[in-house]
A and B are shown apart, each in its own frame.
Chain A
Amino acid sequence: MAVLDRRVIYHFDWTVFVLALMLAGVGVLSVFSATWGNSRHGLDPLVVRQLMWVGIGAVLMAAAALFDYRSLSSYAYLFYAVTIGLLAVVAVAGQSTGGSRRWINLGLLKLEPSEIAKLAVVLVMVRYLREEPPRGGWNLRHIIVPGILLAVPAGLVLKQPDLGTALILVLITATLIFVGGLNWRTGAALLLGAMLVAPVGWHYLKPYQRERLVSFLNPQSDPLGSGYHIIQSEIAIGSGGAWGKGLFKGTQARLNFLPEQTTDFIFAVFAEEFGFAGAMFLLGLYAALIVRGTWIARHARDRFGTLLAVGVTGIIFWQVAINVGMASGMLPVVGITLPLVSYGGSSLIAMMAAIGVLISVNTRRYLF
């Protein structure tokens, strides 16, 4: 990388940076609230760690913002290969929690390679798709390679099993292929094909994943079992009302009726305590960040930058949509974190680094 250009500082995208930090702040507050009363003295260790991750993430975000995103292009395949390696390590020697192997224990940080896999897939796709499509757009033949590039990490993630992350990998790949220039008719055919294949996919789901789907369709079928998460989350959100129950006053979270409160269901914690107003504020922050991301994509100087911005924005968007949809009972329960808000070092640091890249794309358009 070249010497730091003063223009990089001058054109720094403070909007995205501040939005990201505000969302991370909401995350710390929510983790704080969800763990309130767990430890008798001082802050819960989870809050302290989350604050630490936000600090590390902010530094990494700033560093990535200052880094010239174009040079990422040359590291794309390497990064991808390393990520596949990490996922393979997880598959062989990963630390398992609750029946799934997702983490590599690094002492301070339990590394979750599937979080990195999202960035790796975005990067490798963008690297591969930066070539302009032919007239009429890509057809099936053109997307065989991206398909394989997706299938390897997605397969490994699915094996963990982590249906949520695998789904995100598929969605961002699809988003990038669509924006990059997929033939409309091929796109429509693929969508139709996916819908036809879905029942077949049912057979490959784990029993607990099927249960989640069934209980999503009918939560009351097993209110104390799989349906419990959906019901309790809906109750938490709904009981928040217009203005919420107030910080630390969310009974659903505080009395542990809400499952996975610091991670997958943190949105419900926040919505219970801050109500519709708070939820709209949070959704507004995301909307601002995402719209800003698409704006950056449209104004990027090169195709690589555009696709990179779409990829990063796509990760945020799909995760927000699925996480909020799940917490509010619109989608089945799949383990997907709320970006920047859910507790977790890997996801937070990876996400902030990715947003740093987004800032870099915006900043660099003035430089060349």
Chain B
Amino acid sequence: MARFTSHSKNRPIPRLEPRVAALTVLILAVLTGAAARLYYLQLIKHHEMAELADRNRIRLQRQPALRGLVYDVRHRPLVDTRPSFDAVMVPEDAPDLNATTARLEKLLGQDGVGKKLDEAEDQGRPEFDPVTVDERLQWQQVVALETHQLELPGVSLQVNPRRHYIYGSLAAHLLGYVGEVTVRDLNRLPDYRMGDEIGKFVLERTWEPSLRGASGGQEIEVDAVGRRLRMLREIPERPGNSVVMTIDLDLQRVAEDAIGDRAGALVALDPNTGYILAMASHPTFDPNSFAGGITPAIWRALTTDPKHPLSNRVIQGVYPPGSTFKIVDSIAGLEDHTLTPQTAYECAGGIYFGGREYRCWRKQGHGSISLHRAIVESCDVFFYNVGQHLGIDRLAAWAHALGLGKKSGVELDNERSGVVPSSQWKAQRFGERWYPAETLSAAIGQGYVGATPLQLANMAAAVANGGTLYKPQFVKEIDALDGSAVKQFPPVIQSEVRIDPEVLELVRAGMAGVVNQADGTAHGAKLDNVIVAGKTGTAQVVKEAQGERTKENAIPEQYRDHGWFIAFAPLDHPRIAVACVIEHAGHGGSTAAPVVKAVLQKYFELNPPQGGVPVKNPDANEHYEVDPLAD
């Protein structure tokens, strides 16, 4: 076109109107672009943006559910949750912060308030967010704050639920404790938040999902600086379910009291169900000291104590079973026909085997002795012979069958399986063959043999019930808030061993003699109204000096023997089986048997024997002769 020739003279003077028109087009295009952007944001991206806006303004405040209670078998609460008072402060509400802080510190009797406030500021506390300045106030502190409220603007009391173990250390090894969730827990459990309470040990831990419930929450509207303006919505929390245990509070108390200050353990089972009626382990701890954070000093004391108060001796204590193992010898021998009720051995206070003397606990010997008296009087020489005729492997097979050397299956942490030696075991463990002499030690529950109190209680229960090993359980049911059972835990049979009823009858009769015959080793445990069957045991801690039986109180405590007593009662229809060990206290008949007696007495007081009246031993005079000289 001519207009665009290079000669400037030919070019037109630019006219305004088309340029204004061009500008108008540009303007309309830009405005259309803006409209398109708004269309995109407000119509296409609306939901996303609306959600972001809500997320801006809505804070979720969780309301943790109240943790479920723990009851004993009679629905008496053992663990509950109680209000604990914390002092909280909103610094913005205090016109003179320094004065209020000073006053508060004076009333609380501690001077960490200012520091707590500074820490909260450092952590970027939103405006008007309360700061917890002191936790778990004493009653006097609560009263002091309440009465001086007017002098403390911005300070208030906050009630927080805290786990409370009503009877302190009672059944602590079963109940366990709670604590704050750890970072590792948080990674594993999406429902938990920092600061939440979580079961850390045994019952509290195992039944955590039931006890915890579901936390609710409030949706709170906040402004840009985080000030809480109003509540928008509330989701109620669902309280946790309760756990009903199989233990009986009264029986548990008696068991713990009977052990007293000594180190030891006791477990009582229902031989017909495997339910644990009482389980005590001493020394123990107070789970209350864990709730809301344990102090480092208490923790150090618990973990460094040489007596290991945190460990549950019932399942973690592995002791030589001593003479209680003679129950295994008897059943094994009779079943194996290497032993008959009439088989008699001569006890002269010891036997020589492989060039070494193996002694009976009774220096003067038992003379010619057969099974019944051997159990009653716990003759070692008799059972050396029984063991020798059986051989270690058949003995081991029967020990296994009766639940030794393997975990009972109880739902408790860190149960130990104990040891039942056999030739194969020894080959694997030491790469050595089994020496026949070792069978002698094994036969009286010494040497390599090791068992937990729970295993021996389970064995006593199996003898009592005819050969059934139940899984020991300590939770009977889970109850909802209204008391209805959500879940029940029926008895679980772990294994059954076929034992000739006649064999069992002989063993039971022997055990009854231990308690009821005057020459029985636990004659002191005899009850008036119930026939108790039992077996004492004394576990050597150190190998005795050859041929020496020293007086117990002449040797240092840590080298003294552990005393065992296992029992069940009543003899004919057993309802309770017990095992008890008292550490470094001498032989079982005088140490553990009285503890078991106290528990049995209490048990039959709480659950009177059929008929409700004391039953005299029907055949006591015929079979269980009372020797006035014995005991």
The answer to whether residues A238 and B42 also contact, given A255-B56, A298-B20 and a CB cut-off of 8 A, is yes
> Could you tell me how many residues of chain B have their Cβ less than 8 Å away from some Cβ of chain A?
43
Return the contact of B52 from the options A235, A240, A280 (Cβ within 8 A). Answer: A235
Pairwise interchain contact B37-A298, C-beta atoms closer than 8 A? no
> Is B28 an interface residue when CB atoms closer than 8 A count as contact?
yes
On chain B, the residues within 8 Å of A181 by CB distance are: 13-14, 16, 19
The answer to whether residues A137 and B14 also contact, given A237-B49, A241-B42, A286-B31 and a CB cut-off of 8 A, is yes
Pairwise interchain contact B31-A294, C-beta atoms closer than 8 A? no
> Is A28 an interface residue when CB atoms closer than 8 A count as contact?
no
The residue on A at minimum CB distance from B21 is A298
Q: Which of B2-22 contact A (CB under 8 A)?
A: 8-14, 16-17, 19-21
Pairwise interchain contact B46-A279, C-beta atoms closer than 8 A? no
- A5-13, A128-136, A214-222 - interface stretch: A128-136
- Per the bound structure, the CA–CA distance linking A181 and B50 in Å amounts to 48
Most chain A CB inside 10 Å of its own CB: which residue of B12, B17, B38, B224: B38
On chain B, the residues within 8 Å of A237 by CB distance are: 38, 41-42, 49
> Is B225 an interface residue when CB atoms closer than 8 A count as contact?
yes
Pairwise interchain contact B19-A239, C-beta atoms closer than 8 A? no
Pairwise interchain contact B56-A328, C-beta atoms closer than 8 A? no
Pairwise interchain contact B53-A239, C-beta atoms closer than 8 A? yes
On chain A, the residues within 8 Å of B57 by CB distance are: 251-252, 255, 257
Q: Which of A301-323 contact B (CB under 8 A)?
A: 303, 306-307, 310, 314, 317, 320-321
> Is A52 an interface residue when CB atoms closer than 8 A count as contact?
no
Pairwise interchain contact B14-A235, C-beta atoms closer than 8 A? no
Return the contact of B27 from the options A132, A238, A280, A317 (Cβ within 8 A). Answer: A317
- Per the bound structure, the CA–CA distance linking A134 and B10 in Å amounts to 11
From residue B50, how far is it (CB to closest CB) to chain A in Å? 4
Pairwise interchain contact A294-B27, C-beta atoms closer than 8 A? yes
Return the contact of A255 from the options B30, B38, B46, B224 (Cβ within 8 A). Answer: B224
Q: Which of A249-265 contact B (CB under 8 A)?
A: 251-252, 254-257
Pairwise interchain contact B14-A294, C-beta atoms closer than 8 A? no
From residue B54, how far is it (CB to closest CB) to chain A in Å? 8
> Is B43 an interface residue when CB atoms closer than 8 A count as contact?
yes
- Per the bound structure, the CA–CA distance linking A271 and B38 in Å amounts to 9
Return the contact of A179 from the options B23, B28, B221, B229 (Cβ within 8 A). Answer: B23
The answer to whether residues A321 and B30 also contact, given A135-B8, A234-B41 and a CB cut-off of 8 A, is yes
The answer to whether residues A132 and B13 also contact, given A239-B50, A251-B57, A328-B34 and a CB cut-off of 8 A, is yes
Pairwise interchain contact A251-B53, C-beta atoms closer than 8 A? yes
The answer to whether residues A255 and B41 also contact, given A181-B13, A239-B52, A325-B34 and a CB cut-off of 8 A, is no
> Is A290 an interface residue when CB atoms closer than 8 A count as contact?
yes
Pairwise interchain contact B225-A303, C-beta atoms closer than 8 A? no
On chain A, the residues within 8 Å of B33 by CB distance are: 330
- Per the bound structure, the CA–CA distance linking A132 and B12 in Å amounts to 12
Pairwise interchain contact B223-A242, C-beta atoms closer than 8 A? no
On chain B, the residues within 8 Å of A179 by CB distance are: 16, 19-20, 23
Return the contact of B43 from the options A276, A314, A317, A324 (Cβ within 8 A). Answer: A276
Pairwise interchain contact A242-B46, C-beta atoms closer than 8 A? yes
From residue B22, how far is it (CB to closest CB) to chain A in Å? 8
Pairwise interchain contact A238-B28, C-beta atoms closer than 8 A? no
The residue on B at minimum CB distance from A314 is B23
The answer to whether residues A241 and B50 also contact, given A255-B222, A255-B229, A276-B39 and a CB cut-off of 8 A, is yes
- Per the bound structure, the CA–CA distance linking A297 and B223 in Å amounts to 47
Pairwise interchain contact A256-B31, C-beta atoms closer than 8 A? no
> Is B488 an interface residue when CB atoms closer than 8 A count as contact?
no
> Is B24 an interface residue when CB atoms closer than 8 A count as contact?
yes
- Per the bound structure, the CA–CA distance linking A284 and B573 in Å amounts to 97
From residue B334, how far is it (CB to closest CB) to chain A in Å? 81
> Is B301 an interface residue when CB atoms closer than 8 A count as contact?
no
Map CB proximity to A onto B589-606 as digits: 1 under 8 Å, 0 otherwise: 000000000000000000
On chain A, the residues within 8 Å of B56 by CB distance are: 232, 235, 251-252, 255, 257
The answer to whether residues A287 and B28 also contact, given A135-B12, A238-B45, A276-B43 and a CB cut-off of 8 A, is yes
On chain B, the residues within 8 Å of A234 by CB distance are: 41, 49
On chain B, the residues within 8 Å of A307 by CB distance are: 16
The answer to whether residues A321 and B34 also contact, given A241-B43, A242-B42 and a CB cut-off of 8 A, is yes
On chain B, the residues within 8 Å of A321 by CB distance are: 30-31, 34
The answer to whether residues A294 and B11 also contact, given A241-B50, A255-B229 and a CB cut-off of 8 A, is no
On chain A, the residues within 8 Å of B223 by CB distance are: 254-257
Pairwise interchain contact A294-B23, C-beta atoms closer than 8 A? yes
Pairwise interchain contact A175-B38, C-beta atoms closer than 8 A? no
> Is B151 an interface residue when CB atoms closer than 8 A count as contact?
no
> Is A283 an interface residue when CB atoms closer than 8 A count as contact?
yes
> Is A291 an interface residue when CB atoms closer than 8 A count as contact?
yes
Q: Which of B121-166 contact A (CB under 8 A)?
A: none
The answer to whether residues A255 and B221 also contact, given A178-B19, A238-B46 and a CB cut-off of 8 A, is yes
On chain A, the residues within 8 Å of B225 by CB distance are: 256
Return the contact of B42 from the options A178, A257, A271, A306 (Cβ within 8 A). Answer: A271
From residue B409, how far is it (CB to closest CB) to chain A in Å? 54
Pairwise interchain contact A287-B53, C-beta atoms closer than 8 A? no
On chain A, the residues within 8 Å of B54 by CB distance are: 251
The answer to whether residues A133 and B53 also contact, given A276-B38, A283-B31, A310-B23 and a CB cut-off of 8 A, is no
On chain A, the residues within 8 Å of B8 by CB distance are: 134-136
Given contacts A133-B14, A321-B31, A324-B38, 16 further A-B contacts (CB under 8 A): A134-B8, A181-B19, A234-B41, A235-B49, A238-B49, A239-B50, A240-B46, A242-B46, A251-B54, A251-B56, A280-B35, A280-B38, A286-B31, A290-B31, A298-B17, A317-B30
Shortest beta-carbon contacts, A-B, top 5: A238-B49, A181-B14, A136-B11, A239-B53, A255-B223
Interface residues of B (CB under 8 A from A): 8-14, 16-17, 19-21, 23-24, 27-28, 30-31, 33-35, 37-39, 41-43, 45-46, 48-50, 52-54, 56-57, 221-225, 229
A selection of 17 A-B contacts at a CB cut-off of 8 Å is A132-B13, A135-B8, A181-B16, A238-B46, A241-B50, A242-B42, A251-B53, A255-B56, A276-B39, A280-B35, A294-B24, A294-B27, A297-B16, A298-B17, A307-B16, A314-B23, A320-B34
